[in-house]
């Protein structure tokens, strides 16, 4: 049995799902083919009606867009492509009036090469800001200082011909990395965060938090002998560019700043095995509120594998740490493309009934699938820079425009305007308008599930107990709160499963199924429970558990 840390009532980021908006793709309010803040503001009612209470917004800061906003040229302003500071304040004001929270993406590891700090840093070896970035002389044989590589292909070092030194970038070369061994950098970053906190932002999702500081001796990284030949970045073991012990004081400094304001949250993007991931809660629980848990994305979709991931994760959590679960984001293939539509619903039911805060990617609630991007329309640098592997590595397919209705460009932008990425071809059938009035649609199911989470405290705060069910097709667990129990049964297979209900319950009724047709109660359960192919359900126990 696993019991959540006690917060009565739960804090806002503990009880609510975090919905990620990728702003370029959500809604184009000014008809230039790129989504923006006006567009998001226009669609706020959609999110509100869906029961969303918390939005994480990917970067909207001024940026030359070499990595679509993850290359920030000014931390305290809004890019005109997305709107203005006034527009942002209007959005936040409306959100707060509706009882919604806004988490901004924060990208402290690197800036854009056009950020004034970098322009000054690169100007000369004696520039006062030279040491704000990571500069090194060429290696002994000439060439890069060491063997470190970029996530987006090739060396992580770029030569600056004018000054004869290399600077570090683990993403595109237009994303030089800041030097957190220089205290002035941390000070400047905290100052910029304060800008948004003073204006009322509710928290930050911190980009690549586990990469913030690198080996002081710049040692080569060893080869990964288990590399499967796929992602070139996995060719090395990243023991000197990631997860360095010196990162923790920096995380604590970010958190200490947030703690000066009431009820702010820090979600840290961290992609590490559980033992290391847990250290980012901080020994005194004084680091991230939510270090991101990507294990449900990384795991194979079998009952045994998923059960192991859940058990291991919950068992690894330190005392007082609030769990977190992620099924998709702008870097991962779409949920419905990874698992197929029926299992995507099963996974959704899992995500929203596990103990902890779920993170949701825009469009997954209508079952958006990976788009097909013609070669001439590929935009993502990860694909552009590695054309031989573009098919596997590009992230454009999961960033296609939201599909609102069956009008031109799915209602994302107006007719005659070219969306920045092509709208998926299935938008005539798969869109919000079509699914909105159909309780049996993915959207209808998702909305009911969110509603249940607000009505049944067990689903957000209850104790979690795994159940062993015969066979390898069904994942089962209980959530219990105040003496009442709900059973969650997830059929991972495409075959009908019959369970001997007497093992689990003396009486109960399904209150939600991934296959619900009407949205109302599905069936009373007496002795046996039948799960249809790919069915997941929540059963309210009416007899003793």
Supply the minimum distance, in Å, between the C-beta of residue 98 and ligand NOJ: 27
CA angle 48, 54, 60 (to 5 degrees): 105
In whole angstroms, give the CA distance from residue 21 to residue 401.
11
Q: Which is nearer to ligand NOJ, 24 or 248 (CB)?
A: 24
Pick the binder of ligand NOJ from 158, 174, 207, 396 (CB under 6 A). Answer: 207
Q: Which residues have a Cβ under 8 Å from the Cβ of 317 and sit 6 or more positions away?
A: 278, 281, 323
Q: Give all strands (DSSP E) within 231-342, no chain letters.
A: 265-268, 290-291, 324-326
Inter-axis angle of helices 442-455 and 341-353, to 10 degrees?
10
CA 353 centroid distance within chain: 18
- In the region spanning residues 441 to 500, those forming contacts with ligand NOJ, defined by CB under 6 A, are none
Residue in 158, 174, 269, 535 annotated catalytic: 269
- In the region spanning residues 262 to 281, those forming contacts with ligand NOJ, defined by CB under 6 A, are 269
22 near ligand NOJ, judged by CB under 6 A? no
In whole angstroms, give the CA distance from residue 295 to residue 297.
5
Q: Give kind and range of the element (H or E) at residue 538.
A: strand 536-541
Closest CA to 128 of 117, 113, 115: 117
Supply the minimum distance, in Å, between the C-beta of residue 502 and ligand NOJ: 47
Largest CA distance in the chain: 79
Residue with the shortest CB distance to ligand NOJ: 70
Q: Which is nearer to ligand NOJ, 130 or 330 (CB)?
A: 330
Supply the minimum distance, in Å, between the C-beta of residue 67 and ligand NOJ: 5
Q: Which is nearer to ligand NOJ, 108 or 501 (CB)?
A: 108
Supply the minimum distance, in Å, between the C-beta of residue 171 and ligand NOJ: 4
Pick the binder of ligand NOJ from 330, 399, 453, 479 (CB under 6 A). Answer: 330
Q: Which is nearer to ligand NOJ, 207 or 365 (CB)?
A: 207
Closest CA to 400 of 379, 382, 385: 379
Residue in 67, 105, 207, 287 annotated catalytic: 207
3-class DSSP state of 426: helix
Per-residue contact string for residues 164-193; x = within reach of ligand NOJ by CB under 6 A:
-------x----------------------
Q: Which is nearer to ligand NOJ, 382 or 513 (CB)?
A: 382
107 near ligand NOJ, judged by CB under 6 A? yes
Supply the minimum distance, in Å, between the C-beta of residue 68 and ligand NOJ: 7
Q: Which is nearer to ligand NOJ, 107 or 456 (CB)?
A: 107
Phi-psi region of 489 (alpha: psi -120 to 50; beta: other; left: phi over 0): beta
In whole angstroms, give the CA distance from residue 458 to residue 465.
12
Whole-Å CA distances, 489 to 356, 472, 536: 18, 12, 6
Both tokens of 458, joined, read 């067990």
106 near ligand NOJ, judged by CB under 6 A? no
Q: Give the binding-site size for ligand NOJ (rule: CB under 6 A).
A: 9
Phi-psi region of 23 (alpha: psi -120 to 50; beta: other; left: phi over 0): alpha
Supply the minimum distance, in Å, between the C-beta of residue 107 and ligand NOJ: 6
331 near ligand NOJ, judged by CB under 6 A? yes
Q: Which is nearer to ligand NOJ, 70 or 446 (CB)?
A: 70
In whole angstroms, give the CA distance from residue 21 to residue 56.
6
Supply the minimum distance, in Å, between the C-beta of residue 170 and ligand NOJ: 8
Active site (annotated) includes residue 207:
yes
Supply the minimum distance, in Å, between the C-beta of residue 208 and ligand NOJ: 5
In whole angstroms, give the CA distance from residue 16 to residue 56.
12
- The answer to whether residues 292 and 259 touch, using CB atoms and an 8 Å cutoff, is no
Supply the minimum distance, in Å, between the C-beta of residue 207 and ligand NOJ: 5
Is the peptide bond preceding residue 50 cis, with omega within 30 degrees of 0? no
Is the peptide bond preceding residue 260 cis, with omega within 30 degrees of 0? no
Both tokens of 83, joined, read 């709107």
Supply the minimum distance, in Å, between the C-beta of residue 210 and ligand NOJ: 11
Q: Which is nearer to ligand NOJ, 109 or 516 (CB)?
A: 109
Q: Which is nearer to ligand NOJ, 51 or 232 (CB)?
A: 232
Q: Which is nearer to ligand NOJ, 24 or 510 (CB)?
A: 24
132 near ligand NOJ, judged by CB under 6 A? no
In whole angstroms, give the CA distance from residue 459 to residue 468.
20
Pick the binder of ligand NOJ from 13, 19, 56, 70 (CB under 6 A). Answer: 70
Q: Which residues have a Cβ under 8 Å from the Cβ of 67 and sit 6 or more positions away?
A: 171, 172, 174, 175, 381
Active site (annotated) includes residue 269:
yes
Pick the binder of ligand NOJ from 72, 81, 104, 208 (CB under 6 A). Answer: 208
CA angle 433, 369, 512 (to 5 degrees): 65
Whole-Å CA distances, 270 to 101, 134, 184, 238, 410: 22, 22, 24, 14, 34
Per-residue contact string for residues 140-169; x = within reach of ligand NOJ by CB under 6 A:
------------------------------
Q: Which residues have a Cβ under 8 Å from the Cβ of 388 and sit 6 or more positions away?
A: none
Q: Which residues are catalytic?
A: 207, 269
Binding positions for ligand NOJ, rule: CB under 6 A: 67, 70, 107, 171, 207-208, 269, 330-331
């Amino acid at each position: 049995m696993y019991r959540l840390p006690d917060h009565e009532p739960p804090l806002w980021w503990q009880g609510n799902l975090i919905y990620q908006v990728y702003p370029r793709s959500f809604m184009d309010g000014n008809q230039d083919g790129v989504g923006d803040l006006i567009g998001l503001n226009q669609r706020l009612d959609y999110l509100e009606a869906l029961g969303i209470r918390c939005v994480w917004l990917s970067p909207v800061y001024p940026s030359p867009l070499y990595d679509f906003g993850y290359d920030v040229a000014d931390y305290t302003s809004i890019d005109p492509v997305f709107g203005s500071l006034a527009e942002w304040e209007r959005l936040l004001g409306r959100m707060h009036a509706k009882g919604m929270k806004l988490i901004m993406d924060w990208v402290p590891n690197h800036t854009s090469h056009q950020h004034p700090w970098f322009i000054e840093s690169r100007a000369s070896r004696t520039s006062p800001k030279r040491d704000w970035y990571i500069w090194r002389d060429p290696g002994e044989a000439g060439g890069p200082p060491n063997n470190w590589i970029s996530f987006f292909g090739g060396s992580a070092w770029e030569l600056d011909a004018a000054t004869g030194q290399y600077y570090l970038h683990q993403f595109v070369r237009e994303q030089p990395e800041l030097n957190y061994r220089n205290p002035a950098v941390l000070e400047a970053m905290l100052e910029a965060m304060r800008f948004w906190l003073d204006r009322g932002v509710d928290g930050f999702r911190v980009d690549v938090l586990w990469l913030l500081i690198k080996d002081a001796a710049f040692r080569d990284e060893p080869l990964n002998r288990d590399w499967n030949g796929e992602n070139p970045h996995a060719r090395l073991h990243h023991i000197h560019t990631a997860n360095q012990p010196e990162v923790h004081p920096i995380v604590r400094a970010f958190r200490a700043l947030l703690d000066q304001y009431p009820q702010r949250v820090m979600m840290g993007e961290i992609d590490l095995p559980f033992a290391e991931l847990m250290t980012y809660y901080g020994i005194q629980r004084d680091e991230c509120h939510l270090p991101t848990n990507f294990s449900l994305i990384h795991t194979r979709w079998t009952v045994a594998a998923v059960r192991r991931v859940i058990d291991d994760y919950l068992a690894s959590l330190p005392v007082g740490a609030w769990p977190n679960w992620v099924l998709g984001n702008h870097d991962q293939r779409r949920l419905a493309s990874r698992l197929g539509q029926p299992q995507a619903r099963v996974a959704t039911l899992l995500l929203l009934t596990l103990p902890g805060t779920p993170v949701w990617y825009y469009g997954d609630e209508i079952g958006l699938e990976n788009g097909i991007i013609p070669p001439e329309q590929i935009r993502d640098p990860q694909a552009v820079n590695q054309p031989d592997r573009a098919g596997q590595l590009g992230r454009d397919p999961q960033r296609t425009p939201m599909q609102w209705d069956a009008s031109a460009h799915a209602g994302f932008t107006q007719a005659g305007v070219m969306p920045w990425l092509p709208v998926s071809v299935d938008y005539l059938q798969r869109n919000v308008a079509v699914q909105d009035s159909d309780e049996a649609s993915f959207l209808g199911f998702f909305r009911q599930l969110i509603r249940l989470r607000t009505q049944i405290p067990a689903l957000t705060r209850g104790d979690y107990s795994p159940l062993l069910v015969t066979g390898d097709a069904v994942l089962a667990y209980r959530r219990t709160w105040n003496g009442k129990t709900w059973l969650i049964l997830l059929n991972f297979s495409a075959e009908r499963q019959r369970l001997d209900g007497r093992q689990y319950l003396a009486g109960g009724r399904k209150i939600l199924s991934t296959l619900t047709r009407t949205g109302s109660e599905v069936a009373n359960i007496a002795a046996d429970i039948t799960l249809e192919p790919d069915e997941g359900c929540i059963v309210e126990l009416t007899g003793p558990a």
